Structure 1
C-alpha cells in the first residue's frame, strides 16, 4: 500500500499466566507485555465476519486489542464478541470530533467495551470551516483541547492520548507540530501513542524520541515499511507498508530504549495492508515480536 495518511516473567505463577488463554502466549513481546494489535489492521475482514475475524486475531496469538473501524454494532455486542474470542480491548481510537462533539456517548460506548485508554489519531481545526493545511495555530488549539479532553477523561478513569502519523513532523511556520504538542500538553493529562512506523517514514527515529521524552509515551504502534535507500522527504512518499521484519525498519533499538524508559504499557501491531493472506500476516508479525 502506497503511503496515504494516515520483564522476562520471573515467577512460576507469572509464567503460567503467560501461557493461559488457550495456550496462547499472553506475554510475547520484548517488553514482557501482552501481545496487542490495532483492529484497523483487519477492518475489511471485520466488516465481513466480525466474530470470525476476532477468532482469527486470537488464533494468531494476540490477547489485547485497540479498537478502530469497528462494524456498526452496539457496545454490548462488541464486548460479547471480544469476550467470546478471549480478547481484551484496552484502548480505542476516536476522531477529534468524537471527543469534541460527542464526548458523552463516545465515552459510554468505549467504557462498555472495556477500554481504559482513548486515543485521538489526528488533529482538529480551530475553525472547521477553514480549508487547506493545518496551521500552527490549529496545532496549538489541539494542544489546548487535548488538555481538556484528558482532564475530563481522567475523572472517569480513562487515559487520553494522541497518535501520530507523518504530518506532525513536517515543519509548520518554523515549528515541528509534534514537538509543540509535547511542549504544550500536560503530562498529567495527555499521553502519547508513538506510531513507530510512521515516525520512521517521517525521518524520525522512535528510539531518539523516547530518549528525549522518556515519560511521555505509554503506548506504541509497531509496523514496518519498505523505504527507498537514503530517502528524501519526497521519496518517502513511495514507502510501502509490509509485514514486520520484511521492510526497512529495525525495531531492536526501539525496544531497547522502550525498555529503558519502563513506561510503555501497551504495544500494538498495526498491519495496514497485507503482502500475504491476512491470518498468515498476523502470525508473521507476532513471530517477529517474539523473536525480538
Structure 2
C-alpha cells in the first residue's frame, strides 16, 4: 500500500493537528527503532492447535514481545494453558512477556493481578469497560452507567498499582464517540489520576471513530504505554471487527503514519488483527511491512 494516493481529508485525519481534544499535551520524544510485539488475538486459532509451536513461529518472524490473555477465550476451557505456562512458552520461544489482558467481564481481579505479577508482566490491559458490552449493541451505554463505572476503574487502577503493575485501558471506536456531549475516554483520563490509569491506544479504532491517531497519541502523552497496530478495510466482511486487517493492507496509509509514531510516544507497538483467516500469515505480513517503513 506504500505510495497509495489518499483523499486529502483522510490524510489530514491520519496526520492530525486539527482535532480538539480535552486531554493533556505531551512533549515529543526522540525517534527510535521500535521493537514490535504481537497480540495473541492475531494468532488465536493457531494457538489453540499448537501454543508452543505458534510462539516459535512468531518469534522467528522477529517479534520480541508477546501479549496474551490471563483468562481463556472460552470460559472454563481445560485445554487453555495457565498464565504461568504461557509465560514460560513465550520465554522458551525467545520472546519476552508483553502486555497481559484482564478478563473483560470482571471476575477475581486480585487473583489476576497476582498472576500477572508472578509471571513478570509489567502492564495489565483492560480490553474494554464492561458497561460497553452489557447491552445487545456493542459499545452502547448510558452516561449514568459511565459516571458510575469510572470510580470503579480508578479502584481497579489502585489494585494494579498495589501489585506493582500498570493498568492500561484499551480504546475502541465507541469510547471515542461523544456520550451526552463528552467522549468516554476523555472522562476516564480527566477523572482518574495518571498513576492509576494509563492507555493502550488502538490506532485503527481511533481512525474508525474519526479521530486522528497521532493527535490521540500526542494528547495522552506519557500515559500511552502500549499501541495496537492494525489497519481498516471496510470492504472486508460484515462485522466491524472483520474490517481489521494487517497494517499496510487497508486505508490508513501506515507509510505516512509509522515515521511519526516515534515522535509522539515511546510505547511499544503490538500488531493486532482481530479476525484474520490466517493469523500467522497476517503476523508475517505485518512484520515485513512495518520493518520496511
TM range (shorter): 0.7 to 0.9
TM-score of the superposed pair, with normalisation by structure 2 = 0.76
TM-score of the superposed pair, with normalisation by structure 1 = 0.77
Residue of structure 1 in register with 2:53 after alignment: 52
**Quick one: which of 233, 240, 244 aligns to 2:243?**
240
Residue of structure 2 in register with 1:250 after alignment: 253
Is the Cα contact below 8 Å between 2:126 and 2:170 reproduced in 1?
Answer: yes
**Quick one: which of 269, 272, 282 aligns to 1:270?**
272
Residues 1:74 and 2:82 are matched in the alignment: yes
Residue of structure 2 in register with 1:231 after alignment: none
Residue of structure 1 in register with 2:186 after alignment: 179
Task: Using the TM superposition, give the Cα deviation of residue 144 of structure 1 relative to its aligned residue in structure 2, in angstroms.
Answer: 1.3
CA RMSD of aligned residues (A): 2.7
Is the Cα contact below 8 Å between 1:201 and 1:236 reproduced in 2?
Answer: no
Is the Cα contact below 8 Å between 1:207 and 1:258 reproduced in 2?
Answer: yes
Residues 1:124 and 2:123 are matched in the alignment: no
**Quick one: which of 72, 80, 103 aligns to 1:95?**
103
CA distance in 2, matches of 1:156, 1:32: 31
Task: Using the TM superposition, give the Cα deviation of residue 72 of structure 1 relative to its aligned residue in structure 2, in angstroms.
Answer: 1.7
Are residues 258 and 144 of structure 1, via their aligned partners in 2, closer, same or farther at CA, if it must alter by over 3 Å?
A: farther
Is the Cα contact below 8 Å between 1:121 and 1:162 reproduced in 2?
Answer: yes
**RCO higher in 1 or 2 (8 Å CA, sep ≥ 6)?**
2
- Give ranges in structure 1 of 5+ residues lacking alignment: 1-29, 229-234
- Count of residues in correspondence between the two structures: 252
Is the Cα contact below 8 Å between 2:42 and 2:282 reproduced in 1?
Answer: no
**Quick one: which of 168, 172, 177 aligns to 1:170?**
177
Are residues 273 and 182 of structure 1, via their aligned partners in 2, closer, same or farther at CA, if it must alter by over 3 Å?
A: same
Residue of structure 2 in register with 1:209 after alignment: 216
Counterparts of 1:212-231 in structure 2 under 5 Å? Answer: 212-227=219-234
Task: Using the TM superposition, give the Cα deviation of residue 104 of structure 1 relative to its aligned residue in structure 2, in angstroms.
Answer: 2.0
The Cα offsets for residues 178-207 of structure 1, whole Å up to 9 and x where unpaired, read as 221222121121101000011111111111
Are residues 197 and 156 of structure 1, via their aligned partners in 2, closer, same or farther at CA, if it must alter by over 3 Å?
A: same
The Cα offsets for residues 242-266 of structure 1, whole Å up to 9 and x where unpaired, read as 22211101235544443223x4332
Is the Cα contact below 8 Å between 1:224 and 1:242 reproduced in 2?
Answer: yes
Residues 1:190 and 2:197 are matched in the alignment: yes
Is the Cα contact below 8 Å between 1:38 and 1:67 reproduced in 2?
Answer: yes
CA distance in 2, matches of 1:283, 1:131: 35
